[in-house]
Structure 1
Amino acid sequence: MKTTVKTTATPARVAITKSAEGVAYISLNLAPANAYYEAFLREIGVVIRTLEQDDSVRVVVIKSGLEKFFCAGADIKVFASNSVQQNLALVAAARINADAIENSSKVYIAEISGHCLGGGLEIAMACDFIFAAEGNYRFGLPEIKLGLIPGNGGTQRLVRRIGRRAAMELLLTGDTFGVGQAQELGLLDGIYSRDSLTEGTREFANEIARGPGRAIAATKRTLREGSSLPLAQGLALEAELADALYETPDAAEGLQAFLEKRSPVFNQ
């Protein structure tokens, strides 16, 4: 059975649904396109920080409650009417959220079935996995057409996902692209029919969530931090995190379950 917890300020815009399996779902519901402004970003940030402190949650899925959009990024009308300082504050809030997702001890999955543009794609790329539905909608980072560049991690996370040449072309043209091209580029980690996306994401999330929480967090940290370190330092980080797990109850449970030829039941 699922329980629902919502933000107190604006319940309809950002909602958390938690499952008994240890998966939390963040639903964005700001019609018509989940185009964000600073207050909306701060609400999302509160949810991310709340889930980070929840030991019962191992996996977080970010999805949209809207039919046509995952997220259109910054609300351009708001952006155009803001002062430069207001826009810098908006971008700073978006960066904080993206960094919090990437640096989280939880595994984050973006579940996408509608247009995913600009800052919306930056949110998705901060996640550990991007799952998408088949369909006639678009991805893209069109900031160059506004005389800007992506400022919430878009350039750096895109090049790490699809490589320099493809990233350069997409960033310099600002062109949008469909689901098929997103898959070909390597942007997506899974693609499903529209009818099976939610179930496919749920099954994958549940499989991960059944694992040991501390080992999941350690795995994510070794990959996130270690991949940018020289090999010797990466190995040292791995050793530090691996050694800390040997005395945990979950390690004891995993070993005992193996000996008893049963599935482990992890609690941490």
Structure 2
Amino acid sequence: MTTTTERTLVNYTVSDGIAIIELTNAPANTYSYEMMSQLDNAILQARFDENVHVLVLRGAGEKFFCAGADISMLNSVTPTYKYYFCLHANETLTRLEQTPKLVIAALNGHTVGGGLEIALACDIRIARRNAGKVGLPEINLGVLPGTGGTQRLARALPKNKAIEYMTEGKLMSFEDAQELGLINYIYESENFWEQVMQYAKQFCPPNRASRTVGRIKRAVQSGAEVALADGLALERELQQLCFQSEDAKEGIAAYNEKRKGNFSGR
């Protein structure tokens, strides 16, 4: 009997309450169904780990965060396979987007096609200065951005700008993307990763009530997609969970005692 060893395409480690999820498929960290399956597993692992408060996604190396789907793979499979591949990728990114823990994309290099679609499913995007381009150029392949790009970009930008960038296949610098609001922060190349981790740690105990951070995310990500009355109902339910938490008791007590809160994530 022979066994095969699955190639590692997603590295998963935990450091100081932060789950680090690294896409690793040289040279451009392109993804296949196998990589998406490993990413899906990493997301679930981070969800269930009560010692994980923040997720950080990054690409291996310095040139690419992710260049999207593996085009040579798409060229060799059937239309039916492609459909289920896109369906699973959509499900994986929705799971990432709905995970009640803050997700930060560390854009260390080019973030194009499906790579930008992954980044758009994250909550905060931090880029390395002068390190690459972002965009959804799938039009050049005769296809549309099919891993959530048409939907998430149109929610991140005015519709006319989203259509412009996708139909023209435009790529833009990180700096231009920040001006449009697609990127939150740009850090200098020197000590980029250390700065990203320092940023992420501020959302972990004892600095922040990390479950409340996750509930704010859930309120926004889920509430923005429903009617206002339904969003307000969701907000009230999440607020009640916050009121019942140890961190709310600590935060209110710290405010009244004029001291800094010492949060536990519970």
TM-score, scaled relative to structure 1? 0.91
Paired residue for 2:88?
93
Task: Answer whether contact 2:135 2:171 (CA < 8 A) is retained.
Answer: yes
Cα deviation, residue 9, structure 1: 3.7
The aligned amino acid for 1:18 is: V
User: What CA RMSD, in Å, does the superposition of the two structures yield over aligned residues?
Assistant: 1.7
Deviates more, 1:134-143 or 1:223-232: 223-232
Q: 2:31 is paired with a residue of what secondary structure? A: coil
> Counterparts of 1:54-69 in structure 2 under 5 Å?
54-69=49-64
Cα deviation, residue 212, structure 1: 2.1
Determine the C-alpha separation between the residues in 1 that align with 2:254 and 2:222: 31
Task: Answer whether contact 2:108 2:131 (CA < 8 A) is retained.
Answer: no
Paired residue for 1:208?
203
Determine the C-alpha separation between the residues in 2 that align with 1:175 and 1:237: 37
Equivalent of 1:102 in 80, 97, 101: 97
Equivalent of 1:16 in 4, 12, 21: 12
Equivalent of 1:52 in 44, 47, 57: 47
The aligned amino acid for 2:120 is: M
Cα deviation, residue 226, structure 1: 1.7
Cα deviation, residue 140, structure 1: 1.3
Equivalent of 1:111 in 86, 106, 109: 106
The aligned amino acid for 2:240 is: D
Q: % of aligned pairs identical? A: 37
Determine the C-alpha separation between the residues in 2 that align with 1:172 and 1:262: 50
Deviates more, 1:65-74 or 1:252-261: 252-261
Q: 1:44 is paired with a residue of what secondary structure? A: helix
The aligned amino acid for 2:249 is: A
Equivalent of 2:218 in 218, 221, 224: 221
Paired residue for 1:5?
none
Paired residue for 2:262?
264
Q: 2:82 is paired with a residue of what secondary structure? A: helix
Determine the C-alpha separation between the residues in 2 that align with 1:167 and 1:262: 42
The aligned amino acid for 2:14 is: K
Q: Which runs of 4+ in 1 moved over 4 A?
A: none
Task: Answer whether contact 1:143 1:149 (CA < 8 A) is retained.
Answer: yes
Determine the C-alpha separation between the residues in 1 that align with 2:260 and 2:180: 40
Determine the C-alpha separation between the residues in 1 that align with 2:106 and 2:197: 10
Task: Answer whether contact 1:38 1:89 (CA < 8 A) is retained.
Answer: no
2:142 paired with 1:147:
yes
Equivalent of 2:184 in 153, 173, 189: 189
2:251 paired with 1:254:
yes
Determine the C-alpha separation between the residues in 2 that align with 1:226 and 1:10: 38
Cα deviation, residue 253, structure 1: 2.2
2:28 paired with 1:28:
no
Determine the C-alpha separation between the residues in 1 that align with 2:75 and 2:209: 46
Task: Answer whether contact 2:18 2:56 (CA < 8 A) is retained.
Answer: yes
Deviates more, 1:231-240 or 1:95-104: 231-240
Task: Answer whether contact 2:101 2:211 (CA < 8 A) is retained.
Answer: no
Determine the C-alpha separation between the residues in 1 that align with 2:62 and 2:241: 44
Determine the C-alpha separation between the residues in 2 that align with 1:136 and 1:246: 43
Count of residue correspondences: 259
Determine the C-alpha separation between the residues in 2 that align with 1:262 and 1:79: 53
**For 1:63-120, what per-residue CA distance to the aligned partner results, in whole angstroms no more than 9, with x for missing partners?**
0112211111111111011111111122122112210110001110100121111111
Equivalent of 2:34 in 19, 39, 52: 39
Determine the C-alpha separation between the residues in 2 that align with 1:71 and 1:202: 19
